[in-house]
A and B are shown apart, each in its own frame.
Chain A
Amino acid sequence: MSIDIETASRVAKLARIKVSDDALPALAEEFNNILGFIEQLQEVNVDGIEPMVSVTPMPLPRRVDDVTDGNQQAKVLANAPDAREGFFAVPKVVE
């Protein structure tokens, strides 16, 4: 398993992290080091083993489907880098 520059670029895009073209070769090499380390897992016999879902066996708790929260617009927006007229503001999304 080896990651090329193109794959590194695709992963950066998927993660929504801008990586400049000249930084891609080093990034690909780092990925390869880490994945080389992870590769050891391929030698473990996992036949018939269930992937862990929850480390503590417990059912997911449920509650009555009531509204328990809300009316906190000012608090929700308090930390926004740009909030206008009660909304989060972002650059234009639709052309």
Chain B
Amino acid sequence: MTDLNKLTIAGARDALRKGDVTSAELTQSCLAAIDGAGALNAFVHNTPDVALDQAKAADARIKSGDAPAMCGIPIGVKDLFCTKGVASQAASKILEGFTPEYESTVTTQLFDAGAVMLGKLNMDEFAMGSSNETSVYGAAINPWRRAGDAAALTPGGSSGGSAAAVAADLCLAATGTDTGGSIRQPAAFTGITGIKPTYGRCSRWGIVAFASSLDQAGPMTKDVRDAAIMLQAMCGHDPKDSTSATLPVPDFEAALTGDIRGKTIGIPREYHMDGMPAEIEALWAEGRRMLQDAGAKIVDISLPHTKYALPTYYVIAPAEASSNLARYDGVRYGYRAALGKGDGITEMYEKTRAEGFGSEVQRRVMVGTYVLSAGFYDAYYNRARKVRSLIKRDFEQAFAQGVDAILTPTTPSAAFGLGEMVDADPVQMYLNDVFTVTVNLAGLPGVSLPAGKDSQGLPLGLQLIGQPWAEADLLNTAFALEQAAGFHDKPQKWW
């Protein structure tokens, strides 16, 4: 077999079980693809030795007949996951040299299922960004380009390295995390599939914390079936995360029948934004038609507090971040600034954090500090938490009316050029998350899948939002939409 790196998880799993291919061969194929893709800057810590050892163990396990679906599958891991003995620095200078003594629960589960780690993937610093440009490693590059234009585009963020790596077939799949859209927006920008499960489905233990009430891990894959297979391996109760759900994890892949007859899909009118490109509106209308043709009932719904989701997010997420990132003090791990004569512990904290955090992280930590400070806590933080309750209630009311899932665009545009937003107000960058952030605030599952291309040949994504804990049903709706959309395009190799 050639081009083994281009296989899906499902395709590789079936070939492994039949003995047509070994995990070692799959892994070598991916390692070669990674070696040839330095220009994408997707992998930032390569672990070929770990990968080859894991592949060998996986091959033995497959031979013995004990092979879960992820066994022998080479994946990439976002740099936000702590991986034992392997650099894990959240794309920040402040975690330079940090090598965890422990393994995150999600990667533990993936490795227990036999998955093979090829290396760590680029991202925005501490997952704060929508373009990968805040990374200490420099931006990851989107393998897609505009037709007839060699300008480098963003793969999105924060899971930009994961998205670029999967789209360019450097790995079969990758882990991502999503606090405001960080799995779904990059998936849309690179023509791949990504799901953020219900808050509490995946353990957050061992994932560098950004905003703990919003953070969720999820898979980034080449199609919906792969998302179902990989999500299965990542989910489950973990006593080490007090917000981890004790619910059983259903068989997500078994739910993929493609039959959505009788399902009700809501179209939220507030997601028609002023100034939204006609191509996005057209794609959304096309998605609506495809679901209707597949037998779903389409209803228009209202989510009246949608416009307040972004400002709510930009209070809550920085507030939680300012608290979570207080731990980076130059004492226990990572970077410590060189101190001058007479510098005490306060100077050590202040210099370490000024030199160790990038500008976007500093900005958010300080905004968070401000909204939590005496006199402003009620006006900003408590008010935002109340509006968050209203945003969640909007969704609950839609679901109570019998809506099974909600269809929206994933992003308000296709991938933009690296550097194009440099001079923009930070708020302009935040608008990337306008369709995704509501889902995190309400704790719901959301999946993005590629559904078409814009006039410049760039992929565009549609998002489906499901009821809490209804990932199986949501993935099946996504599967039906995937079949109808028939998007199989790949970027032309230039790297």
**Interface residues in A1-21 (C-beta closer than 8 Å to B):** 3, 7, 11-12, 14-19
**Interface residues in B47-105 (C-beta closer than 8 Å to A):** 97-101
Q: Please name all residues of chain A whose beta carbon is closer than 8 Å to the beta carbon of B388 when the two chains form the complex.
A: 51-52, 55
Of all A-B residue pairs in the complex, the 8 with the closest CB atoms, nearest first, are: A55-B443, A51-B385, A79-B333, A81-B336, A18-B350, A46-B386, A18-B354, A75-B101
CA distance A83 to B326 in the complex (A): 20
**Interface residues in B357-385 (C-beta closer than 8 Å to A):** 357, 362-363, 365-367, 369-371, 373, 379-380, 382-385
Cβ–Cβ contact B367 & A79, under 8 A: no
**Interface residues in A47-71 (C-beta closer than 8 Å to B):** 49-56, 58, 60-61, 63
Cβ–Cβ contact B386 & A49, under 8 A: yes
Cβ–Cβ contact B425 & A33, under 8 A: yes
Q: Please name all residues of chain A whose beta carbon is closer than 8 Å to the beta carbon of B390 when the two chains form the complex.
A: 44, 46, 49
The residue on B at minimum CB distance from A72 is B101
**Interface residues in B319-372 (C-beta closer than 8 Å to A):** 322, 326, 329-336, 339, 343-351, 353-354, 357, 362-363, 365-367, 369-371
Cβ–Cβ contact B97 & A79, under 8 A: yes
Cβ–Cβ contact B350 & A81, under 8 A: no
Q: Please name all residues of chain A whose beta carbon is closer than 8 Å to the beta carbon of B312 when the two chains form the complex.
A: 41
Q: Please name all residues of chain B whose beta carbon is closer than 8 Å to the beta carbon of A27 when the two chains form the complex.
A: 366
A-B contact pairs, 22 of them (CB 8 A): A15-B362, A16-B326, A18-B350, A18-B354, A27-B366, A38-B311, A40-B307, A40-B311, A41-B387, A44-B305, A46-B390, A52-B392, A55-B388, A55-B443, A60-B242, A63-B239, A79-B332, A81-B330, A81-B334, A81-B335, A82-B336, A90-B331
* B302 interface residue per 8 A CB criterion: no
In this complex, how many residues of chain A approach chain B with their Cβ under 8 Å: the count is: 49
Given contacts A44-B387, A52-B388, contact A11 B98 (CB under 8 A): no
* B434 interface residue per 8 A CB criterion: no
Cβ–Cβ contact B370 & A31, under 8 A: yes
* B115 interface residue per 8 A CB criterion: no
Distance to closest chain A CB from B247 (angstroms): 10
Q: Please name all residues of chain A whose beta carbon is closer than 8 Å to the beta carbon of B345 when the two chains form the complex.
A: 90-93
Cβ–Cβ contact A51 & B386, under 8 A: yes
CA distance A91 to B330 in the complex (A): 11
In this complex, how many residues of chain B approach chain A with their Cβ under 8 Å: the count is: 73
A-B CB pair tally, cutoff 8 Å? 163
The residue from B310, B322, B354, B366 contacting A31, defined by CB atoms under 8 A apart: B366
The residue on A at minimum CB distance from B328 is A16
Cβ–Cβ contact B389 & A80, under 8 A: no
Beta-carbon contacts of A20-34 to B below 8 Å, as 1s and 0s? 000000010011011
Cβ–Cβ contact A52 & B389, under 8 A: yes
Given contacts A16-B349, A18-B350, A93-B345, contact A80 B332 (CB under 8 A): yes
Cβ–Cβ contact B353 & A38, under 8 A: no
In the complex, given contacts A38-B371, A90-B331, A93-B344, what are 20 additional A-B residue pairs having Cβ atoms less than 8 angstroms apart?
A15-B369, A16-B346, A18-B351, A18-B354, A31-B370, A34-B363, A49-B390, A50-B389, A51-B382, A55-B199, A56-B468, A58-B200, A58-B245, A63-B239, A78-B101, A79-B99, A79-B100, A80-B333, A90-B345, A90-B348
CA distance A52 to B385 in the complex (A): 5
CA distance A76 to B332 in the complex (A): 8
Cβ–Cβ contact B97 & A11, under 8 A: no
* B205 interface residue per 8 A CB criterion: no
CA distance A11 to B370 in the complex (A): 6
CA distance A33 to B425 in the complex (A): 8
* B213 interface residue per 8 A CB criterion: yes
The residue from B326, B330, B366, B443 contacting A56, defined by CB atoms under 8 A apart: B443
The residue from B314, B362, B389 contacting A34, defined by CB atoms under 8 A apart: B314
* B427 interface residue per 8 A CB criterion: yes
Cβ–Cβ contact A81 & B331, under 8 A: yes
The residue on B at minimum CB distance from A51 is B385
Q: Please name all residues of chain B whose beta carbon is closer than 8 Å to the beta carbon of A51 when the two chains form the complex.
A: 382, 385-386, 388-389
CA distance A32 to B349 in the complex (A): 26
Beta-carbon contacts of B197-227 to A below 8 Å, as 1s and 0s? 0111000000000000100000000000000
CA distance A3 to B389 in the complex (A): 28
Distance to closest chain A CB from B206 (angstroms): 14
* B315 interface residue per 8 A CB criterion: yes
Cβ–Cβ contact A33 & B426, under 8 A: yes
Cβ–Cβ contact A38 & B386, under 8 A: no
Q: Please name all residues of chain A whose beta carbon is closer than 8 Å to the beta carbon of B109 when the two chains form the complex.
A: none
* B308 interface residue per 8 A CB criterion: yes
Q: Please name all residues of chain B whose beta carbon is closer than 8 Å to the beta carbon of A90 when the two chains form the complex.
A: 331, 345, 348
The residue on B at minimum CB distance from A10 is B373
**Interface residues in B163-214 (C-beta closer than 8 Å to A):** 198-200, 213
The residue on A at minimum CB distance from B374 is A14
Cβ–Cβ contact A38 & B331, under 8 A: no
**Interface residues in B243-259 (C-beta closer than 8 Å to A):** 243, 245
